[in-house]
Chains A and B, each alone.
Chain A
Amino acid sequence: MYSRKKYGILGVVVTIIILILLFALTNTQNSKLSYIENLANKIVMPIQNGLVYLKNKVNGKSSFFENVSNLKNENQQLIERNTELEKQLRELEVMKAENETLKQYLDITQKYSDYATIPADVINRDISNYSKTIVINRGANDGIKENMTVIAAEGLVGYVISVTSTTAKVQTIIDTSSATSCLLSTSRDSIVCKGTLNDQSHLKAMYIATDAVVSQGDTIETSGIGGIYPKGILVGNVSKVENTTDLSNRYALVELAVDFARLETVLVITN
């Protein structure tokens, strides 16, 4: 009995408070309430937007279902179009790769225009860690013969050691059994560049004359001595000179112009 009475009084008090608040709010100027309105908007608006979106969806459901078949057709057409475009893209990528290869051929052909050359691709590399021969996709049928010089856009690669009808083996200058007679481009001193076992990007320049001046950055090119390599083909640059107490034993490291790890396209000089 007491409890019901208590709750009844509480209800009346709450109602009165709400009434007073409503009264106060509805009779105050809007500007004073704008911040509360903003706050309320921020909370309510996303929900309201969502509800409106749903309402619109529900209202438009009839047209939505009516358009399903049209959409299906459209989707099918788009899939076909997409497949067609993907196919074209693949074709373009192939053409781009071909274009790159042809550009490389053209670059090196122009660079060594004095020589008659045959372009070739590297198709195989030595499986051993101790020798560095490569196989190219041109052979006797294309006019390749033994001892022909092989070059890349950047410089000297090596020479042909054996030929089959469709392929040729090339001994690269980085092979340990290779010794290339070279010239220092500045002082015109003669040196011999040999391949090393553990370095694919450097050659060891040996037999440097005691009075020869070798400095870092000197360009190294073939001397033409030996009869295999034509004169004046770039080999690389001197990256380090190792002076020893005995001057006749000194040697230099030659940084190769050609990146043998990424060698893909070469030219075989046929004349």
Chain B
Amino acid sequence: MKKIIINIILFITFIIIYILQSNLFTWFQIAGVMPNLFIIFILFIGLYASKFIGTIYGVVIGLLLDFFISKKVGITAIMLGIIGLIGVIFDKNFSKENRITLIVMVAISTIIYEVGTYILSYFIYNNDIQILAFIQILAIECFYNILLTIILYPLMQIFGNKIEEEYKGDKILTRYF
């Protein structure tokens, strides 16, 4: 029952993020660059929920985003799925109780997601490679995502711990040792 409630909350969060991303952040930009809250969201699920939940959420949300706005279906789904997996890997190897660690995780995930998307787009759409412009946008996006993570960290911890307790139960050791 609790799991159903958690999943409903996660779905509502997805809708809120989608509205924020497609409305608020189209004008609330830093140097013309938007953040990507979906990366933070999927990484958060990967870190706190059980194995593969992050990946499943990543793929499903990615598919929805592809249907809503992308030129072709698949790229966002694959990349967000990978971010979900990365969340699981991070969870196994690092402690998410530290704010700095979480910030580094978000930065790395943003870089992996955007570089992956850019490479896939290059092969699919035959885009021109504009490395300098890409790095510039990526750096600002990372910075923006980090700022949002710092703001959202307390909320992420409270809700994250509830998800973790429900999905992992007594397997949680890192928090006590």
Contact = CB atoms under 8 A, between A and B. Distances in A.
Contacts of A133: 69-71
B36 A127 contact: yes
Interface in A53-67: none
Interface in A165-181: 169, 171, 175-177
Contacts of B33: 129
A177 B126 CA distance: 7
A131 B70 contact: yes
A125 B22 contact: yes
Contact of B128 (A125, A128, A162, A194): A194
Interface string B100-121: 0000000000000010011001
Interface residues of B, number: 29
Contacts of A193: none
Interface in A116-137: 124-131, 133, 135
Given A130-B118, A133-B70, A161-B71, A125 B136 contact: no
Given A124-B22, A197-B130, A198-B133, A129 B141 contact: yes
B32 interface: yes
B121 A131 contact: yes
A92 B137 CA distance: 43
What DSSP secondary structure best describes chain A's contact surface?
loop
Contacts of A175: 71
Interface residues of A, number: 22
A197 B128 CA distance: 9
A196 interface: yes
Contacts of A196: 130, 133
Contact of B127 (A126, A127, A176): A176
B176 interface: no
Given A127-B36, A129-B34, A177-B121, A198 B137 contact: yes
A125 B26 contact: yes
Nearest to B37: A127
B36 A131 contact: no
B134 interface: yes
A200 interface: yes
Interface string A140-181: 000000000000000000000110000001010001110000
B177 interface: no
A13 B33 CA distance: 90
Contacts of B117: 128, 130
Contacts of A125: 22, 26, 69
B66 to A, nearest CB: 11
Interface of B: 18, 21-22, 25-26, 32-34, 36, 38, 65, 68-71, 114, 117-118, 121, 125-128, 130, 133-134, 136-137, 141
5 contacts: A127-B21, A128-B70, A131-B71, A196-B130, A198-B32
